[in-house]
Structure 1
Amino acid sequence: MTRTLLTGIATLALTATGALAQVDENAPQGGEMVVTYQDDVATLDPAIGYDWQNWSMIKSLFDGLMGYEPGTTTLRNELAESHEISGDGLTHTFALKDGITFHNGREITAEDVKYSLERVTNPETRSPGAGFFSMIEGFDSWNAGEGEGLSGVTVIDDKTVEITLSRPDATFGHVMALNFASVVPQEAVEASGEDFGREPVGSGAFRLAEWTPGQQLVFERFEDYHREGVPKLDQVTFSIGLEPTVALLRLQSGEADVPGDGIPPAQFLQVMNDPAQAERVVEGGQLQTGYITLNTQMAPFDNVDVRKAVNMAINKDRITQMINNRAVPANQPLPPTMPGYAEDYEGYAYDPEAAIQMLADAGFPDGFTTELYVMNVDPNPRIAQAIQQDLAEIGVTAEIRSLAQANVIAAGGEADQAPMIWSGGMAWIADFPDPSNFYGPILGCAGAVPGGWNWAWYCNEEIDARAAEADAMTGEGQQGGREDAWRQIYLDIMEDAPWVPVFNEQRFTLHSEGVAGDDTLFVDPVHIPVNYDYIYATEAE
Structure 2
Amino acid sequence: MKHLLASTAVLLALTLPAMAQEYTPDPAAKQGGAMVMTYKDDVATLDPAIGYDWQNWSMIRSLFDGLMDYVPGTTDLRLGLAESYEISEDGLSYTFKLRPGVKFHNGREMTADDVKYSLDRVTLPATQSPGSGFFGSIKGYDAMVGGTATSLEGVVVVDPLTVRIDLSRPDATFLHVMAINFSAVVPKEAVEAANGDFGKMPVGTGAFKMTEWTLGQRLVFARNTDYWRAGEPYLDQVTFEFGQEPIVALLRLQNGEIDVPGDGIPPAKFTEVMGDPAQKARVVEGGVLHTGYITMNVTAPPFDKVEVRRAVNMAINKARVVQVINNRAVPANQPLPPAMPGYTADYAGYAYDVEAAKKLLADAGLPDGFETDLYAMNTDPNPRIAQAIQQDLAAIGITANIQSLAQANVIEAGGAGTAPMIWSGGMAWVADFPDPSNFYGPILGCAGAEPGGWNWAKYCNADLDKAAVAADSMSDPAKSADRLKAWSDIYMQVMEDAPWAPVFNDQRFTMKSDRMGGADALYVDPIATVNFDYVYVK
TM-score range, shorter chain: over 0.9
Deviation at 1:8, TM superposition (A): 2.3
Q: What SS is found at the alignment partner of 1:477?
A: helix
Alignment of 1:144-155 (within 5 A): 144-155=146-157
Q: What SS is found at the alignment partner of 1:292?
A: strand
| Corresponding residue number in structure 2 for 1:422 | 423
Using the alignment, how far apart are the partners of 1:364 and 1:343 within structure 2?
34
CA contact (8 A) 2:415 2:452 kept: yes
CA contact (8 A) 1:10 1:173 kept: no
Using the alignment, how far apart are the partners of 1:171 and 1:207 within structure 2?
29
1:31 and 2:41 equivalent? no
Q: What SS is found at the alignment partner of 1:442?
A: helix
* Per-residue Cα deviation, 1:258-289 (whole angstroms, up to 9, x for no partner): 01111111111111111111112111111111
| Corresponding residue number in structure 2 for 1:455 | 456
Out of 124, 127, 130, the residue aligned to residue 128 of structure 1 is 130
Alignment of 1:103-502 (within 5 A): 103-415=105-417, 417-502=418-503
CA contact (8 A) 1:22 1:518 kept: no
Report the AA paired with residue 462 of structure 2: E
Using the alignment, how far apart are the partners of 2:29 and 2:410 within structure 1?
44
Using the alignment, how far apart are the partners of 1:199 and 1:414 within structure 2?
35
Q: What SS is found at the alignment partner of 2:371?
A: strand
Q: CA RMSD in A?
A: 1.2
Q: What SS is found at the alignment partner of 1:224?
A: coil
CA contact (8 A) 2:208 2:221 kept: yes
CA contact (8 A) 1:516 1:536 kept: yes
Report the AA paired with residue 343 of structure 2: Y
CA contact (8 A) 1:327 1:503 kept: yes
Report the AA paired with residue 156 of structure 2: T
CA contact (8 A) 2:120 2:150 kept: no
Runs of 4+ with deviation above 2 angstroms: 8-11, 19-23
Using the alignment, how far apart are the partners of 1:406 and 1:31 within structure 2?
39
Using the alignment, how far apart are the partners of 1:25 and 1:231 within structure 2?
14
* Per-residue Cα deviation, 1:284-338 (whole angstroms, up to 9, x for no partner): 1111111111111222111111101111111000001111111110000011111
Change (3 A) 1:430 1:303: same
| Corresponding residue number in structure 1 for 2:13 | none
Using the alignment, how far apart are the partners of 1:401 and 1:105 within structure 2?
53
Q: What SS is found at the alignment partner of 1:250?
A: helix
More divergent stretch after superposition (102-111 vs 266-275): 266-275
CA contact (8 A) 1:43 1:197 kept: yes
More divergent stretch after superposition (500-509 vs 20-29): 20-29
Report the AA paired with residue 217 of structure 2: Q
* Per-residue Cα deviation, 1:350-385 (whole angstroms, up to 9, x for no partner): 111111111111011221111111111111110000
Deviation at 1:193, TM superposition (A): 2.3
Using the alignment, how far apart are the partners of 1:20 and 1:412 within structure 2?
42
Using the alignment, how far apart are the partners of 2:244 and 2:303 within structure 1?
41
Report the AA paired with residue 263 of structure 2: D
| Corresponding residue number in structure 2 for 1:15 | none
Give the TM-score normalised by structure 2: 0.96
Deviation at 1:6, TM superposition (A): 0.7
Report the AA paired with residue 199 of structure 1: M
CA contact (8 A) 1:62 1:202 kept: yes
Alignment of 1:63-74 (within 5 A): 63-74=65-76
Using the alignment, how far apart are the partners of 1:476 and 1:322 within structure 2?
42
CA contact (8 A) 1:10 1:75 kept: no
Change (3 A) 1:519 1:111: same
More divergent stretch after superposition (132-141 vs 470-479): 470-479
| Corresponding residue number in structure 2 for 1:16 | none
| Corresponding residue number in structure 1 for 2:97 | 95
Q: What SS is found at the alignment partner of 2:442?
A: coil
Q: What SS is found at the alignment partner of 1:441?
A: helix
CA contact (8 A) 1:20 1:71 kept: no
| Corresponding residue number in structure 2 for 1:14 | none
| Corresponding residue number in structure 1 for 2:3 | 5
Q: What SS is found at the alignment partner of 2:272?
A: helix
* Per-residue Cα deviation, 1:191-249 (whole angstroms, up to 9, x for no partner): 11221101111111111111111111111111101111111001111111111111101
CA contact (8 A) 1:218 1:237 kept: yes
Give the TM-score normalised by structure 1: 0.96
Using the alignment, how far apart are the partners of 2:279 and 2:97 within structure 1?
47
The total of aligned residue pairs comes to: 527
Report the AA paired with residue 387 of structure 2: Q
| Corresponding residue number in structure 1 for 2:518 | 517
* Per-residue Cα deviation, 1:28-68 (whole angstroms, up to 9, x for no partner): 11111111111111111000000000000100010000001
Using the alignment, how far apart are the partners of 2:8 and 2:367 within structure 1?
50
Deviation at 1:25, TM superposition (A): 4.9
User: Which runs of no fewer than 5 residues in structure 1 stay unpaired?
Assistant: 12-18
* Per-residue Cα deviation, 1:11-41 (whole angstroms, up to 9, x for no partner): 9xxxxxxx98763155111111111111111
CA contact (8 A) 1:62 1:203 kept: yes
Q: What SS is found at the alignment partner of 1:424?
A: coil
